[in-house]
Amino acid sequence: MDNKNNQWRKDFPILDQVVNDEQLVYLDNAATTQKPQQIIDDIMAFYQNDNANVHRGVHTLAERSTEQFEEARSKIQQFINAKHSDEIIYTKGTTDSLNIIARSYGEQNIQAGDEIVISYLEHHSNLIPWQQLALKKHATLKYIDLDEDGFVDLNDAKKKITDKTKIVSIAHVSNVLGVINPIKQLAKLAHQHGAVMVVDGAQSVPYMPVDVQDLDCDFLAFSGHKMLGPTGLGILYGKEDLLNSMPPVDYGGEMISFVHLFDTTWNDLPWKFEAGTPNIAGAIALGHAVDYLNSIGMDKILDYENQLVDYVLPKLQAIDDLIIYGPRDPQKHTSVISFNLKGLHPHDLATGLDMEGVAVRAGHHCAQPLMEYLGIKATARASFYFYNTKEDADTLVNSIVATKEFFQNGTI
Ligand code: PLP
């Protein structure tokens, strides 16, 4: 698993560069992944050959772009095993998808005294929409505890989810602790109490096979840019009957059936939720990203990343003064790994790593309540994807040691 033997790496031209006189090692994939040359070419080819607005024209280019746009929707439907393609709504990203659920389903169904249940590890995108909805509706927002490894604790979930609960919304994979949460069991629990299950799939859909029918979740939100696609395009999956019962949140072109002077009827799914000209090239590119991921196989991607974690986690654990968050057991840890070096601010650590060519993230990772729960302000975070290698892992480990020595002794 060195760079030369990774068959996918050559597709990512951005990786082949020197930063700060060192070969770039990109380990910020949980923030956004890099894009293969094929997808960069596809986006350019769309604008060179097929660009036209979707759904509105009868001319050839409009038909071509509409066909590709809707074909991408079907690919995404199959990728997450949704029953119908009209259950796939194009949005701007995970954040947008979660806000739409809160503003549409939430506004319609939450009354004073109802409960919304989330957990302490949620990204702000899966926290603030529910917090603000609860404030507005005089509902109660409850937080499920984490167990000692950082997983959402099922025993506590059984206490927190009650007959008053209307919405449970949980991250499938934590963007800080690298845990895969027990979504299937949580969905079962939510349904036993008549609540809907919302899943923040921002970190899971790019990383592992995700089957919405198997999970039996009611909604799933994810972002194209974290799975090889461009920024500004995400997906909201919802069960058809729920989406049909929900009001649109944005008004304008595309989402209407008929507009009269004083009233309007809505378009069918999925367009009811897609007001205005969408990110056409982005959606088509996400369809191609799905093709690319399928050509490898999501099982294989998961397996490959598990091997990387098996390799790197013990090496990180062996570094003195390095505190690693999430499970100690590599079998329980995804390839999102957060850590702190004792006595050093994570920003200094990340800057030290950047001097070695290693790109990691540092900060609160849009999870301030989780930082508070852990009793810290911030962490550094390395996150791997299938184009990373053991060589990258070694560089990370060596660079942490070098940075530690630099700050201790002033040499690097
Ligand atoms: N949820 C989780 C778990 C994330 O990791 C992220 C992004 O890092 C988001 C939501 C928000 O995604 P986006 O910024 O693409 O909307």
Question: What is the per-residue pLDDT across 30-51, written as a single tens digit (0 to 9) for each?
Answer: 999 999 999 999 999 999 999 9
217 counts as catalytic: no
- Cα 109 to averaged position of ligand 1 atoms, centre (Å): 25
Residue 200 CB–ligand 1 contact under 6 Å: yes
Quick: pLDDT tens for 201-233.
Answer: 999 999 999 999 999 999 999 999 999 999 999
CATH class assigned to 3-31+297-409:
alpha beta
pLDDT of residue 2: 82
Quick: pLDDT tens for 354-371.
Answer: 999 999 999 999 999 999
Neighbours of 44 (CB within 10 A): 11
Quick: pLDDT tens for 68-77.
Answer: 999 999 999 9
User: Which residue's CA is the nearest one to ligand 1's atom 6?
Assistant: 202
pLDDT above 70: residue 411: no
Quick: pLDDT tens for 133-152.
Answer: 999 999 999 999 999 999 99
pLDDT of residue 154: 98
Residue 203 CB–ligand 1 contact under 6 Å: yes
Quick: pLDDT tens for 309-354.
Answer: 999 999 999 999 999 999 999 999 999 999 999 999 999 999 999 9
Mean pLDDT of 16-41: 98
For residue 96, the ligand 1 atom closest to its alpha carbon is 16
For residue 31, the ligand 1 atom closest to its alpha carbon is 8
CB 69 within 8 A of CB 75: no
CB 165 within 8 A of CB 193: yes
Reported pTM: 0.98
Residue 388 CB–ligand 1 contact under 6 Å: no
For residue 171, the ligand 1 atom closest to its alpha carbon is 3
> Rounded to an integer, what distance in angstroms lies between the CA atom of residue 232 and that of residue 249?
18
Mean pLDDT of 363-387: 98
Share of the chain above pLDDT 90, in %: 96
> Rounded to an integer, what distance in angstroms lies between the CA atom of residue 303 and that of residue 307?
6
Share of the chain above pLDDT 70, in %: 99
pLDDT of residue 410: 60
Residue 115 CB–ligand 1 contact under 6 Å: no
**Cα 210–282–240 angle (5° rounding)?**
45
Neighbours of 357 (CB within 10 A): 18
Burial 265-283 (b: 16+ CB within 10 A, else e): ebbebbbbbbbeebbbbbb
- Cα 358 to averaged position of ligand 1 atoms, centre (Å): 22
Q: Which pair of tokens denotes residue 312?
A: 């790197």
Query: Pocket of ligand 1, candidates 120, 125, 227: which has the most ligand atoms within 8 Å of its Cβ, to mutate?
Result: 125
Q: Which of 1, 62, 128, 366 is catalytic?
A: 366
Quick: pLDDT tens for 245-274.
Answer: 999 999 999 999 999 999 999 999 999 999
pLDDT of residue 408: 83
Residue 126 CB–ligand 1 contact under 6 Å: yes
User: Which residue's CA is the nearest one to ligand 1's atom 4?
Assistant: 202
Closest to 91 (Cα-Cα) out of 253, 276, 256 = 276
**180 Cβ partners below 8 Å, 6+ apart?**
172, 173, 204, 208, 334
pLDDT of residue 57: 79
Kindly indicate the confidence band of residue 177, based on its pLDDT and cuts at 50, 70 and 90.
very high
pLDDT of residue 73: 98
In CATH terms, is domain 41-295 a member of 3.40.50.410? no
User: Which residue's CA is the nearest one to ligand 1's atom 12?
Assistant: 94
Mean pLDDT of 183-200: 98
For residue 200, the ligand 1 atom closest to its alpha carbon is 1
What's the mean pLDDT when you consider all of the chain? 97
Residue 204 CB–ligand 1 contact under 6 Å: no
Mean pLDDT of 78-85: 98
> Rounded to an integer, what distance in angstroms lies between the CA atom of residue 106 and that of residue 247?
10
Closest to 189 (Cα-Cα) out of 145, 158, 165, 155 = 158
Residue 229 CB–ligand 1 contact under 6 Å: no
Extents of the domains making up the chain: 3-31+297-409, 41-295
- Cα 164 to averaged position of ligand 1 atoms, centre (Å): 28
Mean pLDDT of 293-302: 98
pLDDT of residue 412: 41
